[in-house]
């Protein structure tokens, strides 16, 4: 993030800032920029018209994205349910494999795929359509190489789990489950770049349809493989891997056959093998940014297991984290939408539209989260009974609900701001912010409150919540003080650096 840390002296939507306009074939974003720049129209009227336009664009992106993430979440959950029917050992093994080793790979690969989100979004806005296919191939190559390294971790998962303190019995069962997930790694390597490639062009609905059909196939194959054919843990994980490959193949066929992608996908190119070290640098920054956030939440659970009453702490936190997870599935759709909208507008040389998109997406996300938080506080005494009948756990969850509500509200802003950061290419800066706020403030403060002041799980969560709040405030301050005209210049410099100047092609509407 070169300009935003140095040039933060211009307020968001400064009426005095110069407007950069271009004639573009897809007129919706041009219309938004023109409205925001037209000072002859009263300010309130401009804001109302612009909000309607931007909201329509955002929901068109966010709604299908939410469906995709929900269905992906349900596929893993249904696999756990199938394994749980086999016995407690199988449930523990699949849960450990899914939430431990598999989630590590998922976060790493998804984070690396965010480099495509930055470059494809800005290239699409700049009408350098052919470069989207090149970036897709570059990312797939790098993620496949990363997948080979991750496969080694999967192969030696039993020894790794035993080293981390798991019982040999659970570790052995989990290693069998994880072995069947090796093909899934390489599905990730192709899926995430494809997903970001399509999102950059506002093509999300096909992924939602594909995921919905795949979920039905996945549930049937899991039932057939686990219950009827008796293949157990290995069969369940292989079905999960196979289902991810169905998604990948179907999406790739859509890209090759669809008229909407005929300018952005020109076939395989040797250019994809050039500039990989520099591309890896941006991919690694994206991966670290996302992984630091994922590990932060995992450490919350790890620390809770060290308390005096670990079972109660883990049970209550597990329920709260499940609620946060479901709420997060909605917000993550706006994360994707924010990244696409900001990237497209910067590439289109529309600074006012990019800035306005940040305002609208944060406002919508915040409103939704406040409503969810109010409902949660209203049901704080009974919400835990959805998961368990224990009264002691219900009381602990009720006590944590105020913190849970604050977390949900903060999560309405923080992931969206991360999406904005990806759209602008600020991954390296956000990584530094995450390290400082999460690991130098949040975790130490949580340990002090939880252990030294004997506040237990509530203290740990309070401390780590402080780190999240600090990170959110910093990202908001930097974003809303960013000079968006300079961000446009930076996006154009980035595109010139990453790819050759291509002759602009008309976009098929």
Cβ neighbour number for residue 428 with a 10 Å cutoff: 17
pLDDT mean over 87-100: 72
Q: Check residues 133 and 500 and name the one with the higher pLDDT.
A: 133
pLDDT at 498: 58
Highest mean pLDDT among 247-251, 318-322, 392-396, 426-430: 247-251
Instruction: Tell me the pLDDT of the chain averaged across its residues.
Output: 80
- Given a contact cutoff of 8 angstroms between Cβ atoms, the answer to whether 4 and 421 are in contact is no
- Residue-wise over 24-63: b if at least 16 C-beta within 10 A, else e? bebeebbebbbbbbeeeeeeeebbebbbebbeebbeebbb
- pLDDT at position 2 is 43
Residues 262 and 274: their CA atoms lie apart, in Å, by 23
Cα–Cα distance for residue pair 365/413, rounded to 1 Å: 7
Tens of pLDDT, residue by residue over 100-147, are 677 778 878 887 877 777 788 778 877 888 888 999 999 999 999 999
Cβ atoms of 171 and 229 within 8 Å: the answer is no
Q: How confident is the model at residue 11 (pLDDT cuts 50, 70, 90)?
A: very low
The reported pLDDT for the residue numbered 507 is 36
User: In which residue are the tokens 């209550």 written?
Assistant: 316
Please count the helices (runs of H) and the strands (runs of E) in the chain.
18, 0
Concatenate the DSSP letters of all residues of 363-423 into one string: HHHHHHHHHHHHHHHHTTTTGGGGT---HHHHHHHHHHHHHHHHHHHHHHHHHHHHHHHHH
What does the block give as tokens for 472?
């959110």
Question: What pLDDT, on the 0 to 100 scale, is given for residue 366?
Answer: 87
- Give the tens place of pLDDT for each residue, 161-205: 888 777 788 788 888 888 999 999 999 999 999 988 998 888 888
Whether 151 shows a pLDDT value over 90: the answer reads: yes
Q: How much is the pLDDT for 478?
A: 84
Contacts for 413 with CB less than 8 Å, ≥ 6 apart: 362, 365, 366, 472, 476
What is the torsional sign of CA 383, 384, 385, 387?
positive
Of the listed ranges 76-80, 84-88, 494-498, the least confidently predicted one is 494-498
Q: Yes or no: say if 472 and 414 are a contact pair by the CB < 8 Å rule.
A: yes
Cβ–Cβ under 8 Å, residues 497 and 119 = no
By C-alpha distance, which of 259, 122, 117, 138 is closest to 190?
A: 138
pLDDT at 182 (0 to 100): 93
Q: Which one-letter DSSP state was computed for residue 446?
A: H
Token pair for 123:
């290239």
Over the stretch 442-481, which tens digit does the pLDDT of each residue have? 889 988 998 888 888 788 889 888 988 998 888 888 887 8
**In whole angstroms, what is the distance from residue 193 CA to residue 205 CA?**
16
Judged against a pLDDT cut of 80, whether residue 60 lies above it is answered with yes
Write down the pLDDT at residue 8.
37
What is the average pLDDT across 78-93? 75
Pairwise CA distance, residues 173 & 101, whole Å: 13
- The one-character DSSP state at 425 is T
At residue 131, the pLDDT reads 87
Give the pLDDT confidence score for residue 305 in this predicted structure: 61
pLDDT at residue number 311: 63
Task: Check residue 310 and give its pLDDT.
Answer: 67
**To the nearest whole percent, how much of the chain has pLDDT over 70?**
85
What pLDDT was estimated at residue 314? 65
Mean per-residue pLDDT, 357-380: 88
Q: Which helix (H) or strand (E) holds 131?
A: helix 130-155
Question: Angle 71-73-79 (CA atoms, 0-180°, nearest 5)?
Answer: 100
Span 360-380, average pLDDT: 88
pLDDT given at position 509: 31
Cα–Cα distance, 376 to 364 (Å, whole number): 19
State the pLDDT at residue 28: 43
| For helices 391-424 and 427-434, angle between their N-to-C axes, nearest 10 degrees | 150
Tokens of 318: 């597990």
Torsion of CA 106, 111, 115, 121, to 10 degrees: 90
Reported as type and span, the H/E element at residue 46 is: helix 43-84
**Which of 32, 23, 36, 37 minimizes the C-alpha distance to 53?**
32
pLDDT at 22 over 60: no
- Give the phi and the psi of residue 197 in degrees, each rounded to 5: -60, -45
């Amino acid at each position: 993030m070169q300009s935003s840390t140095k040039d933060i002296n211009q307020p968001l939507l400064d009426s005095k800032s110069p407007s950069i306009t271009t004639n573009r074939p897809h007129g919706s974003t041009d219309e938004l920029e023109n409205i925001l720049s037209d000072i002859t129209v009263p300010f309130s009227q401009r804001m109302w018209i612009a909000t309607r336009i931007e909201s329509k664009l955002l929901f068109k992106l966010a709604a299908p994205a939410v469906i995709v993430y929900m269905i992906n979440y349900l596929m893993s959950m249904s696999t756990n349910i199938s394994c749980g029917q086999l016995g407690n050992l199988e449930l523990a093994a699949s849960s450990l494999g899914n939430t431990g080793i598999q989630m590590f790979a998922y976060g790493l690969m998804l984070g690396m795929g965010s480099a495509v989100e930055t470059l494809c979004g800005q290239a699409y806005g700049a009408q350098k359509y052919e470069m989207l296919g090149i970036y897709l191939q570059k990312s797939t190559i790098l993620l496949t190489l990363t997948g080979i390294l991750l496969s080694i971790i999967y192969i030696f998962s039993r020894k790794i789990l035993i080293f981390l303190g798991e019982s040999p019995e659970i570790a052995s069962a989990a290693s069998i489950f994880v072995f069947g997930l090796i093909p899934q790694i390489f599905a990730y390597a192709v899926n995430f770049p494809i997903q970001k490639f399509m999102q950059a062009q506002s093509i999300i609905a096909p992924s939602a349809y594909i995921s919905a059909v795949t979920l039905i196939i996945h549930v049937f194959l899991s039932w057939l493989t686990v219950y009827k054919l008796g293949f157990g843990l290995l069969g369940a994980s292989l079905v999960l891997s196979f289902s991810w490959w169905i998604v990948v193949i179907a999406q790739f066929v859509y890209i090759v056959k669809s008229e909407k992608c005929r300018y952005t996908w020109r076939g395989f190119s040797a250019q994809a093998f050039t500039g990989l070290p520099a591309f890896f640098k941006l991919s690694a920054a994206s991966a670290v940014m996302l992984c630091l956030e994922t590990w932060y939440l995992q450490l919350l659970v790890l620390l809770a297991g060290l308390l005096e009453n670990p079972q109660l702490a883990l049970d209550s936190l597990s329920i709260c984290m499940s609620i946060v997870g479901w709420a997060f599935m909605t917000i993550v759709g706006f994360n994707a939408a924010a990244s696409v909208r900001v990237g497209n507008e910067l590439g289109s040389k529309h600074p006012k539209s990019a800035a306005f998109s940040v305002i609208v997406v944060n406002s919508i996300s915040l409103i939704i989260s406040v409503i969810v938080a109010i409902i949660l506080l209203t049901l704080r005494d009974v919400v835990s009974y959805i998961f368990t009948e224990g009264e002691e756990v219900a009381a602990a969850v009720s006590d944590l609900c105020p913190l849970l509500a604050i977390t949900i509200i903060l999560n309405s802003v923080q992931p969206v701001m991360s999406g904005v950061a990806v759209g602008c290419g600020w991954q390296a800066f956000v990584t530094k912010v995450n390290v400082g706020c999460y690991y130098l403030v949040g975790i130490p403060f949580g340990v002090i409150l939880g252990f030294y002041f004997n506040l237990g799980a509530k203290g740990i969560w309070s401390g780590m919540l402080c780190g999240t709040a600090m990170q959110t405030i910093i990202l908001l301050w930097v974003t809303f003080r960013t000079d968006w005209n300079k961000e446009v210049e930076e996006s154009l410099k980035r595109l010139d650096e990453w790819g050759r100047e291509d002759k602009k092609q008309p976009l098929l509407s």
